[in-house]
Amino acid sequence: MNSVYILKEGAKQIGIDLSEQQIQQLIQYKELLLEWNEKINLTAITEERDVMIKHFLDSLSCVKVSRLKNGVKMIDVGTGAGFPGIPLKVYYQDIQLTLLDSLNKRINFLQTVCDSLGLKAVEFLHGRAEDYGNHKNYREKYDFAVARAVAELNILLEYCMPFVKVGGYFIAQKGPNIEEEMNRGQKAIEILGGKLVEKIDIPLPFSEINHNIVIIKKIKQTPTKYPRKAGTPTKSPLI
Ligand SMILES: C[S@@+](CC[C@H](N)C(=O)[O-])C[C@H]1O[C@@H](n2cnc3c(N)ncnc32)[C@H](O)[C@@H]1O
């Protein structure tokens, strides 16, 4: 199976159609990812097939969140090499996207990708979620915060909920078997002004693995003492 086939068919399995242009943008992204990965550490996934499935299709599975649509303002917290933010931007060309990561080399890579793919309305932030979450230009300014593979839910909630407007959503992309992690996150959801909406169990195309998407709605403002200073959410997670 070649990459184009995997993307086209995998997208159909998720329930979306990718245009020729979107396929070409993702192929170009894959080329840049593998090229830059030889110089800076971006991903441990280097087989083309795995990049298509475990990075691109997995990121695109967020489209299962019915509230996500063109026009929204979204921040991807701890985006790394751009997941899930960039594949979502390729699909919903009109979202206003902010990509945040604490590693500057990754931010440089993301700027190159967005320039090369012609993706507009993307903002790049280098720094820690705990610092930007307290900044007036970013706090409670987003319809959606998304994050994949950054931290356990109770820590991740403290990174992400401060960015979300009241009435907006936090989407956490998680692996299989997350019941315990969700139990440990209950308290943090409440403290930070959230309400669990649903957990969607999603089969990853061409794979045996099921992934989960946890959707949390922000129902009231996050108390101003959160996020605590950089490093504290990891050292003493809310429980
Ligand atoms: C394991 S990588 C995952 C990257 C990407 N989301 C993915 O799914 O492939 C975690 C990323 O989160 C970033 N990160 C971790 N803690 C962070 C924080 N407190 N603020 C901003 N970025 C953070 C790291 O620099 C790293 O790039």
pLDDT digits (tens, 9 = 90+) for 162-198: 999 999 999 999 999 999 999 999 999 999 999 999 9
Mean pLDDT of the chain: 97
What's the CA-to-centroid distance between 107 and ligand 1, angstroms? Answer: 11
CB of 106 within 6 A of ligand 1: the answer is: yes
CB of 129 within 6 A of ligand 1: the answer is: yes
Q: Is 148 annotated as a binding residue?
A: yes
- Complex confidence, ipTM: 0.99
Q: Is 9 annotated as a binding residue?
A: no
Top mutation candidate among 36, 51, 150, 154 for ligand 1, by most atoms within 8 Å of CB: 150
Domains and CATH numbers, the chain: 3-235 (3.40.50.150)
Q: Is 85 annotated as a binding residue?
A: no
Confidence of residue 1 (pLDDT cuts 50, 70, 90): confident
* pLDDT tens, residue by residue, 105-145: 999 999 999 999 999 999 999 999 999 999 999 999 999 99
Confidence of residue 95 (pLDDT cuts 50, 70, 90): very high
What average pLDDT does this structure show over 43-72? 94
CB of 103 within 6 A of ligand 1: the answer is: yes
Describe the strand order of the beta sheet including 96-101 as a list of residue ranges. Answer: 122-126, 96-101, 73-77, 142-148, 164-174, 210-218, 194-203
Q: Report whether pLDDT(65) > 90.
A: no
Top mutation candidate among 50, 88, 102, 153 for ligand 1, by most atoms within 8 Å of CB: 102
Q: Report whether pLDDT(20) > 90.
A: yes
